[in-house]
Amino acid sequence: MALASLAIIRDYRIEVILDNGIVRVTFSKPGGDVIGIKYNGIDNLLETDNKENNRGYWDLVWNQKPGEKANNIDTYIMLRNYPGFYTYSILERLDGWPEVEIGQIRIVYKLQQDKFDFMAISDDRQRTMPTMKDRLSGQPLAYPEAVLLTNPSNPQLRGEVDDKYQYSSESKDNRVHGWISSTSDPPVGFWIITPSYEFRTGGPVKQELTCHAGAIALSMFTSAHYAGRDAVMIFEEGEPWKKVFGPVSVYLNSISIDDDPLLLWQNAKEKLQEEVEAWPFNFTQSKDFIGSDQRGIVGGQLLIRDRYINERLLWARSAHVGLAAPGEVGSWQKESKGYQFWTQADKRGYFSIKNVVPGNYSLYAWVPSIVGDYKYTKNIIIEPGSKIDLDMLVYEPPRNGPTLWEIGVPDRTAAEFYIPDPYPTLMNQLYSNHPDKFRQYGLWDRYADLYPNKDLIYTVGVDNYKKDWFFAQVNRNAGNDTYEATTWQIIFELENVTRPGNYTLQLGLASATNMELEV
Ligand SMILES: *[C@@H]1O[C@H](CO)[C@@H](O)[C@H](O)[C@H]1NC(C)=O
Ligand SMILES: *[C@@H]1O[C@H](CO)[C@@H](O)[C@H](O)[C@H]1NC(C)=O
Ligand SMILES: *[C@@H]1O[C@H](CO)[C@@H](O)[C@H](O)[C@H]1NC(C)=O
Ligand SMILES: *[C@@H]1O[C@H](CO)[C@@H](O)[C@H](O)[C@H]1NC(C)=O
């Protein structure tokens, strides 16, 4: 635990207190768990019905063997005048340590459920939430996380589905989320702010949980969610490793009872912008957290050479460009041990990746609507204060000839395809008339309704992928908890087939976990 500025630490026998006059945080001793957060007249924002070790904690899930311990230093920082606190953790493996797999690293806060009733994770994903009790009195659905609320304390939620996975976000968008106690006087907001996601695994489009019922707010650093074992950190015997996770902050705000509680969300977003501008923070005391003067910058312009689209070089408009550990093309998606630094290019393909921690990286990119993945041929070595200008980089998408037909857009989402309506009895009202309709529960089973006997047949030139291509390649619910494999067909005609000649079928997968696709 580190102290910055004028916080007061009192070290009692069984607890430790950080207090800056605005917020008082109480930690268990020796456990180091956050057991109390006092703010604005509320004695404890955390759920006091929970045991002390089940309110606010760092959580590391690994295949621990008897007698093994993790070397893990969690640090909390409280600044003068900051309504909240920062936390980060340094994880280290030393030479000679045994092999280990780490499946999850996260921070969990469980807030008082009778106060924190409203959750906000983005501008268009906010809602009044059920409680844990509402879930327990509900009807479990296909997996334990999904529950039909049959008897919630708030009758307006009756008949809705609650499922924490419906509130996942892509890492690049998962920067501020939290809860509002909309009916307390005054209303209070509890937010987790993540100014940089350099320490998260899997790059910008890895999805992670944010908040969920139980008035739970998470900061996810690594997990197998949406990627399976490929995203798990697997260390060989003797493999040394060290990484700083965070800092992230818990930011608290409040507003007059006469004002709109949603102003708390607006204020939290403004605070995120301030934190982004202050990144990398200069108040950490560990030398393992690299400060701005020790970080580097890499810039350039990414262009596309694809003579089947245009004879001239094209700008890699809005390309996602990032640095991650050296590896194969696209390896950043499964990379979990190092830092990753991503940015999005402007419309001319210019990019600038700032605040890069010294190290050895590959430079990766992909361009929305352009097939394939880019990797720069050389490694990028960042030294303290490096300023690297790569000038012009040219990406040549993999192709052997003109596109004869294409279904959808290669952009790492399936959002453009046909997304069925959910079962009317299994809806989350948040996603009615919402661009994230695909997050509704049970859509996979709708395939069996649409294609009860025969599988999907798509005719190129006749069908429209927005209406005729089911958004996910699923198996068919054949009743009685049985599922059968499905075989889809794409019908197309080619005139003037070149013989002998090669034709290439390219597949862009938006995600795949525990699946096998045969073509
Ligand atoms: C960077 O990493 C690559 C791939 O692991 C390795 O071949 C290369 O030698 C490294 N370069 C430096 C300077 O460490
Ligand atoms: C499901 O199982 C029941 C009882 O064994 C049987 O009567 C019914 O026909 C089965 N339904 C299907 C769709 O297989
Ligand atoms: C096929 O070849 C014929 C004759 O050369 C030509 O008129 C036609 O446009 C070609 N069709 C396609 C799809 O290229
Ligand atoms: C087709 O591709 C194979 C494998 O790359 C290659 O060996 C063969 O020469 C190609 N045939 C033609 C006609 O281009």
Predicted pLDDT of residue 450: 96
495 pLDDT above the threshold of 70: yes
> Which structure tokens are listed for 398?
């993999």
Contacts of 24 (CB under 8 A, 6+ apart): 17, 18, 36, 37, 38, 39
Between 363 and 31, the higher pLDDT residue: 363
Query: What is the mean pLDDT of the segment spanning 43-58?
Result: 96
pLDDT band at residue 109 using 50, 70 and 90 as cut-offs: very high
7 pLDDT more than 80: no
Over the stretch 339-394, which tens digit does the pLDDT of each residue have? Answer: 999 999 999 999 999 999 999 999 999 999 999 999 999 999 999 999 999 999 99
Predicted local distance difference test score (pLDDT) of residue 13: 66
In the chain, how many domains are there? Answer: 3
Distance (angstroms) between ligand 3 centre and the Cα of 404 equals 13
State percent of the chain over pLDDT 90. Answer: 86
| Co-location of 122 and 249 in the same domain | yes
Residue 10 lies in a domain: no
d(CA 87, CA 298): 28
Cα–Cα distance measured from residue 316 to residue 305, given in angstroms and rounded to the nearest whole number? 10
* Domain that includes residue 119, residue range: 54-278
For residues 261 and 404, membership in a common domain is answered with no
Q: pLDDT-based confidence at 266, cuts 50/70/90? A: very high
- Give dist(CA 171, CA 168) in Å, integer: 9
CA torsion angle for 214, 215, 217, 220 (degrees, to 10)?
A: 10
Whether 471 and 430 share a structural domain: yes
Pocket test for ligand 1, best of 328, 337, 360 (most atoms within 8 A of CB): 360
Name the residue with the closest Cα to ligand 1, atom 12: 360
Whether pLDDT at 105 is above 90: yes
- The answer to whether residue 252 scores a pLDDT higher than 70 is yes
Claim to verify: residue 390 and residue 409 sit in the same structural domain: no
DSSP structure class, residue 418: B
Q: What is the mean pLDDT of residues 195-215?
A: 97
Q: What are phi and psi of 328, to 5 degrees?
A: -70, 165
Query: Of 274, 427, 298, 419, which is closest to residue 350 (Cα–Cα)?
Result: 298
418 and 390 fall within a common domain: no
Does 330 lie in the same domain as 268? Answer: no
Is pLDDT at 49 greater than 70 in this prediction? yes
Atom of ligand 2 nearest to the CA of 482: 14
Q: The tokens of 363 are what?
A: 């430079």
- Return the pLDDT at 4: 40
Three-state DSSP class for residue 167: helix
Task: Report the run of H or E that residue 34 belongs to, with start and end.
Answer: strand 34-39
| Same structural domain, 389 and 404 | no
**pLDDT > 80? residue 70:** no
Q: What is the DSSP letter of 332?
A: G
Task: Check which CATH number belongs to the domain holding 363 and give it.
Answer: 2.60.40.1120
Q: Which residue has a Cα nearest atom 1 of ligand 1?
A: 360
Q: Span 412-421, mean pLDDT? A: 95
Average pLDDT over residues 92-101: 90
Query: Taking residues 320-338, what's their average pLDDT?
Result: 96
Residue where a domain terminates, one of 250, 278, 306: 278
Same domain for 492 and 370: no
CA proximity to 130, closest of 145, 149, 111, 108: 149
Q: Which of 400, 499, 502, 503 to mutate to test the pocket of ligand 4 (most atoms within 8 A of CB)?
A: 502
243 and 134 fall within a common domain? yes
The Cα 164–Cα 213 span in angstroms is 7
Residue 25 has pLDDT above 50, yes or no: yes
* Atom nearest to 495 CA in ligand 3: 13
Which phi and psi (to 5°) does residue 151 adopt? -145, 55
Q: How far is the CA of 399 from the centre of ligand 4 (A)?
A: 13
CA of 448 to the centre of ligand 2 (A): 16
273 plus 346 within the same structural domain: no
Tell me the CA end-to-end span of the chain in Å, nearest whole number. 55
132, 237: one domain: yes
* Residue carrying the six token digits 């890069």: 356
Q: Which ligand is nearest to the CA of 362?
A: 1
Is 150 a pocket residue for ligand 1 (Cβ < 6 Å)?
A: no
Token pair of 241, please? 């490793």
Listed residues 395, 427, 450: the one ending a domain: 395
Same domain, 108 and 233: yes
Q: Is the pLDDT of residue 271 over 60?
A: yes
328 within ligand 1 shell (Cβ under 6 A): no
